[in-house]
Amino acid sequence: MDNPVQINIVIPLYNEEKVFAALQQRLTELMRNSKLNITVIMIDDGSSDNTAQLMENLSLQDKRFTSVFLSRNFGHQLALSAGLSVVDATEAIFVIDGDLQDPPELLEDFYPYIKDGYDVVYAVREKRKESFFKKLAYSTFYKILKRVSNIDIPLDSGDFSLISRRVVDEIVKMKEESRFIRGMRTWVGYKQIGVAYERQSRHSGDSKYPLSKLLKLAFDGIFNFSELPIRFISYVGLLTILISISYLIFALLKMGFTGDVPEGFIATIFMVTLFGGIQLLSLGIIGEYILRIFFQVKERPLFIIKKRIYNEQVIL
């Protein structure tokens, strides 16, 4: 009889004590009912509530649950990267969030695609049970990213996915400080497929992704996978030159045909304001790239693991 296929479920957690019991129940039921050999890797991203203690208690009682504790809050993408760096599954890694918006039971629907030769099975959000503003923000972001990215990042696909071990190994090799996992996953390549699902509302508690974090994630996606921001400066510069030349031609023609000199005050204010705005925007875009280079060349570790509990043993 063949040994069951080994799958790791990787779950970053940050202040999720309210949903932890339900998450544990859903995962335990999945393990019980599945023919796959499933183990779970939970990553505490510096939670300030009781999440870390709940994780520790579970991992000390059930060796199928491994807990990884970061030294502070590093952010969702780096916490996920920490989880991917310690996987031991031989077959595939299932990435989900801990708020139960992504149903862990979909692992059973995703895995057949891995058997069919796909390396990445990513979930495509067909419907979202979120506020109108969030739906609009996500939709706008994905459409912009789709148009400007130099790789084909699928619309409405997040980190929720089942990924082969070889793709995870390639992602772990990437050392960029500003991480956008779903973009990195696409960049690696191999055979990928999207599976539609209806995203649920949060089981309980508040979203851990406020507007500021969503904007940072959007910036990471656009600046990491598109040359458009830096080229935008050249495009705007060219457009400004064309506007200036057009205005100069207009002024010369008016002087030639009527002898009048165009009124200068409004035109001057307009041009000064336009050029000032363009310069500030250009400096901001260049500054964003310089800031990313500044953090990257420091070569600091992406995250620090304070403690692990593996196989019911504490590893410091």
pLDDT digits (tens, 9 = 90+) for 207-245: 555 566 667 666 676 776 666 777 777 777 777 777 777
Over the Cα atoms of the chain, what is R_g? 25
Please give the share of the chain, as a percent, with pLDDT higher than 90.
26
CA–CA dist 219, 114 (Å, integer): 31
Q: Which residues pair with 10 in a beta bridge?
A: 41, 95
Higher pLDDT, 202 or 187: 187
Report the share of the chain in percent with pLDDT over 70. Answer: 77
Q: Rounded to a whole number, what is the largest CA-CA distance in the chain?
A: 97
Instruction: Map out the domains of the chain as residue ranges.
Output: 6-226+301-315, 228-297
Query: Parallel, antiparallel, or unpaired for β 157-164 and 192-199?
Result: unpaired
User: Has residue 204 got a pLDDT over 60?
Assistant: no
pLDDT for residue 73 is more than 80: yes
3-state percent breakdown (helix, strand, coil) of the chain, nearest 5: 50, 20, 30
Q: What's the CA gap between 165 and 8, in Å, rounded? A: 10
- Mean pLDDT over 8-15 rounds to 93
* Gap between the terminal Cα atoms of the chain: 37
d(CA 302, CA 270): 46
Segment 20-26 long-range contacts (CB within 8 Å, at least 24 positions apart): 20/51, 20/54, 20/55, 20/98, 22/100, 22/203, 22/204, 23/98, 23/100, 23/203, 24/58, 26/100, 26/103, 26/104, 26/105
The token pair that represents 212 in the structure block:
């500021």
pTM: 0.74
pLDDT score of 259: 61
User: Which pLDDT score, from 0 to 100, does residue 1 have?
Assistant: 44
DSSP 64: T
Q: Judge whether 92 and 65 are in contact, CB under 8 Å.
A: no
Tens digit of each residue's pLDDT (9 = 90 or more) over 45-65:
989 999 999 999 999 999 999
- Pick the more confident residue, 285 or 86: 86
Is CATH 3.40.50.1470 the classification given to domain 6-226+301-315?
no
What are the φ/ψ torsions at residue 2 (nearest 5 degrees)?
-70, 145
DSSP-derived letter for residue 3 is: P
Mean pLDDT of 291-302: 78
- 296, 177 Cβ separation under 8 angstroms: yes
Q: For residue 176, what are its two tokens?
A: 């960029």
Q: Tell me, what's the pLDDT at 64?
A: 92
Confidence at residue 176, expressed as pLDDT on a 0 to 100 scale: 82
Round to whole Å and give the CA distance between 65 and 59.
5
Give me the sheet containing 157-164, strands edge to edge.
192-199, 120-128, 157-164, 92-95, 6-13, 37-44, 65-70, 305-310, 313-315
